[in-house]
Amino acid sequence: MLSEFRLPDVGEGISEAEIVRWLVAEGASVNEDQDIVEIETDKAIVALPSPHSGKIAKLHRKEGDIAKVGEILVSIETEDTAHAAPQADHGTVVGSLGDEQVIELPTPVKATPAVRALAKQLGIDLVKIRGTGSEGKITREDVERAAAGTAAEERHDGESSGPIERIPLRGLRRTIAKRMHAARQRVSDVTIWEDADITDLDRIRSKEKEIAAQKGIKLTYLPYVIQATIDALKVHPYLNATLDDEREEILLKKFYNIGIAVDTADGLIVFAIKQADQKSLLELAQEISTLAEKARTRRLDLSELRGSTFTITNYGVIGATYGTPIINYPEVGILGIGRIQDRPVVDDGAIAIHKIMPLSLVFDHRVVDGVEAARFLNVIIDRLEEPKPTLPEKS
């Protein structure tokens, strides 16, 4: 009997995933629970184990393909029933993750015979269409829109005046594109910019980073910004919230999971520092370092990518001063840190050189008004401009 292993829901509500790398080839023998394929979903790479021991009869997807939950990934010829016929599919599919509970899932494509006939006539692959009808059903309008898009693409190609390289939108860049599109469609974002004079903080950090270095920890400005942000979130809780559009409710989070955006070779990844308000300066610094390295090597767990309540992005490390970062939906705010500069300022009537940290706050105006957002940012600035030493002096 051929056992068909289909893309399961890995427990995070995914609807599709990219085949990153096959760990087996057709004809190879596999053991139950042996990893056979790596998939990418929601910015994380996950290895899926074989549900059976046997021989790989067929790989149904190529590396780089996008598979929807419930679609066949691989057929396995099990050792004890090698000559039996394949099991019939009676309208549902089953996904399994090793010892995880078996999950029953709906069939991948939902469309009426008339819609299927229209798609065949127009040369449209229904698997590639996201249905807008009830329960994800593909409608006639969905097929017609897909056909119109194909025709427009062909016209564009015909009008081209030079060579074109087609690069599939895959992996992390595809995930980022989908998230950014969703954020732009749903969020009414507004940006305000201010500067923080961190001259005193710079002096404190210069001393404390030596203490941290003795413990093998790299102390940047980011942990100080995180602590200042948490203080501001406690004073202005509507920045630590999400908006439930369907129920028309604002959900105020009573915990502080700070998302940190980090640049990787594949694109921007946001990991979450859970319960950040309960961690010391050095604990924050160590966790940032650990999770940033895991992000760059694409080995973050899904749990480390989810659950943030407010996000901070530091584009100053690449030389940018101000920006309008896109909110990490469904959060309602994101703080951008710009390049720290020495600038001339008026200090007690005289010109002096101070350390200035540019800050950009983007907020969802549906939840937060401009006055509250400005007050929130002022709390952060006050904490950064009037810092208190955190670490004990070196003995």
- Between strands 310-314 and 258-264, the pairing is parallel
Q: How many residues in total does the chain contain?
A: 395
Domain boundaries of the chain, sorted by first residue:
2-106, 113-168, 174-385
Q: What CATH number does the domain located at 113-168 have?
A: 4.10.320.10
Q: Give the right CATH number for 174-385 from 3.40.50.10490, 3.40.50.720, 3.10.129.10, 3.30.559.10.
A: 3.30.559.10
Write out the chain's pLDDT in tens, 395 residues: 889 999 987 665 677 888 999 999 999 999 998 999 999 876 678 889 999 899 999 999 999 888 988 899 999 998 654 444 444 443 333 343 433 333 333 346 788 878 888 888 888 888 888 888 777 788 888 888 888 776 656 555 555 567 777 777 777 777 778 778 878 788 899 999 999 999 999 999 999 999 999 999 999 999 999 999 999 999 999 999 999 988 899 999 999 999 999 988 878 899 999 999 999 999 999 999 999 999 998 888 888 988 999 999 999 999 999 999 999 999 999 999 999 999 999 988 999 999 999 999 999 999 999 999 999 999 999 999 999 888 776 54
Token reading at 279: 């961690």
Considering 90, 181, 354, 365, which one is annotated as catalytic?
365
Q: What is the pLDDT of residue 151?
A: 61
Q: pTM of the full predicted structure?
A: 0.69
- Using DSSP, state whether 62 is helix, strand or coil: coil
From residue 177, give the alpha-carbon distance in Å to each of 149, 170, 174, 181, 203: 18, 10, 5, 6, 40
Q: Which residues contact 17 (CB under 8 A, 6 or more apart)?
A: 7, 39, 40, 41, 46, 66, 67, 69
Alpha-carbon gap, residue 11 to 33, rounded angstroms: 18
Closest CA to 329 of 241, 249, 262: 241
Instruction: Mark whether 365 is an active-site residue.
Output: yes
Phi, psi of 94 (to 5 degrees): -125, 130
Q: What is the pLDDT of residue 149?
A: 73
| Eight-class DSSP state of 331 | B
Asked if residues 346 and 323 have their Cβ atoms less than 8 Å apart, the reply is no
Closest CA to 223 of 211, 206, 205, 237: 205
Tally helices (H) and strands (E) across the chain.
8, 19
Q: What CATH number does the domain located at 2-106 have?
A: 2.40.50.100
Alpha-carbon gap, residue 309 to 234, rounded angstroms: 12
- Using DSSP, state whether 169 is helix, strand or coil: coil
Task: Please name every residue paired with 341 in a beta bridge, in sequence order, or none if there are none.
Answer: 356
Side-chain-side CA neighbours of residue 230 (13 Å): 22
